[in-house]
Amino acid sequence: MAVGNSNYWEDLRKQARQLENELDLKLVSFSKLCTSYSSSREGRHGDSSDTTPLLNNSTQDRMFETMAVEIEQLLTKLTGVNDKMAEYSSAPGVTSMNAALMHTLQRHRDILQDYTHEFHKTKTNFLAIREREDLLGSVRKDIETYKSGSGVNNRRTELFLKEHEHLRNSDRLIEDTISIAMATKENMTSQRGLLKSIQSRVNTLANRFPAINNLIQRVNLRKRRDSLILGGVIGVCTILLLLYALH
C-alpha cells in the first residue's frame, strides 16, 4: 500500500514538472509575441506609404488569443495537480512523511503562483499596448483621411504629425533620463555603503590597537595646539598693526 501511495505521489510530481516545463516555454513565447506585436506596430507607424495598412495585425491577435487559452488551460491543469498533491499530503497514512511532502508541495505552489502572476502581467501589458496602438492608429488614420481630403490644410496636418512625433521622442528621452538617474542613485548608494564599511573597519582597528588610537589622538591634539598658537600670533600681530596705524 505504501509503495502504491509512493508511486501515486511520484506520478503527481512528474505531471507537475511536465506542466511547469510546458508553461515556462509557453510564457516565453507569449512574452516574445507581445514584444514583436509592439515592434511591428512601431514599424507600420513609421512607414510613410499611404498603401501600408495601419492596423493589419489580425494574425498576431489570433495567436495571442490562442496562446492565452492554452496557457490558461495549463494553469488549470497544474492547479488540479497541486490540489491532488495537497489531498495526498494530508492523508492519514502519510503523516510520517508530511514535512517533506509539504515542502515539495509548497515549492510547486510557489512556481504556480509565479507563472500565474507572469501570465496575467504579460497579458495585461499586451492588451494595454494593443489598446494604445489601436487608439493611435485610429487618430493617425483620421489625420491621413483629413489630409487626403483637404489640400488647403496639408501644411497644418504635417505640423500636427511632426508635433506628434516630437512628443513621442520627448517621452522616450524622459524615460532614458529617468533610467540614468536611477542607475546613478544605485551607484551612489553602493559607494556610500562602501565608505561606511571602510569607516567601520578603521574604527575597529583603532579600538583593537589602543596604541594607534592614542597616537591619532595626540596628533589631533598637536594640530589643535598649533592652530591656537598660530591664531594667537596672528591676532597679536593684527592688534600691533592697528595700534601702529592709529598712531
Residues 189-194, mean pLDDT to the nearest whole number: 81
Confidence of residue 18 (pLDDT cuts 50, 70, 90): very high
This prediction's pTM: 0.48
Q: What is the mean pLDDT of the chain?
A: 77
Q: Which residues are CB-contacts of 35 (< 8 A; sequence separation ≥ 6)?
A: none
Output the pLDDT for position 55: 40
Amino acid at 208: R
pLDDT tens-digit map of 230-244: 888 888 888 888 887
Output the pLDDT for position 49: 43
Output the pLDDT for position 77: 92
Between residues 231 and 137, the one the model is more confident about:
231
Output the pLDDT for position 54: 38
Confidence of residue 56 (pLDDT cuts 50, 70, 90): very low
